[in-house]
Amino acid sequence: MQLKNHVEWALHCCSVLAALPEDERIPAKLLAELHGIPREYLSKALQALSSAGIISGTLGPTGGYKLARAPGRITFLDIVEAVEGKGRTFVCTEIRDNMPCAEKPPAKGKTRRPCAVARVMYDADKAWRSHLQSVTLADLAKTVEKEVPLRVLKGNAEWLAAKRNA
């Protein structure tokens, strides 16, 4: 079981967008080139982020993407769920119903308490999501700023600016 690499791409792209001056934008093409990842395929991830309301895209030349709200109000969970879906990592297929002496499955429309096995897995899933929800893009930016050499940060920012004005 593995998250798709859309997740990694989306997180890194959002990290870049979080460092962007207000009212500036970066087109998908540049985000792809910056990270050395396939442009067309990255677009799908960005579109997912956009339709989830995390980033906002504008058309036309000078168009591109920017964060749709403040970095402090975007969590890792928001991004992961936008790209990966909100479905749980463990899916219960109710194999208890297949046992020779099983309780009757609930009537259509009615629900039943999940089985004990599923509940443990769901709780673990919840712990995972809970941690992702506790970290925002603002937190990430603070960490990056602290541990990535200024030379690297400035270098990449300048590369972006140069490309956008070319």
Contact set with DNA (CB under 7 A): 1-2, 4-6, 27-29, 37-41, 43-44, 46-47, 50-51, 56-65
**Which of residues 15 and 50 has its CB atom nearest to its own copies in the complex?**
15
Return the HEC string of the chain. Answer: CCCCHHHHHHHHHHHHHHCCCCCCCECHHHHHHHHCCCHHHHHHHHHHHHHCCCEEEECCCCCEEEECCCHHHCEHHHHHHHHHCCCCCCCCCCHHHHCCCCCCCCCCCCCCCCCHHHHHHHHHHHHHHHHHHCCEHHHHHHHHHHHCCHHHHHHHHHHHHHHHHC
- Count the alpha carbons within 13 Å of 114 in the hemisphere toward its beta carbon: 12
**CB of 50 vs DNA, minimal distance in Å:** 4
The site map against its own copies for 75-114 (x = CB under 8 A) is: -x-------x--x-xxxxx-xx-xxxxxx---------x-
Find which of its own copies, DNA, none residue 70 binds, CB within 5 to 8 Å per kind.
none
Q: Is 124 in the site for its own copies (CB under 8 A)?
A: yes
**Which of residues 88 and 139 has its CB atom nearest to DNA in the complex?**
88
Q: In the complex, which residues of this chain contact its own copies (CB under 8 A)?
A: 1-5, 7-9, 11-12, 15, 34-37, 76, 84, 87, 89-93, 95-96, 98-103, 113, 116-117, 120-121, 123-125, 127-132, 135, 140, 143-144, 147-149, 151-152, 154-156, 158-159
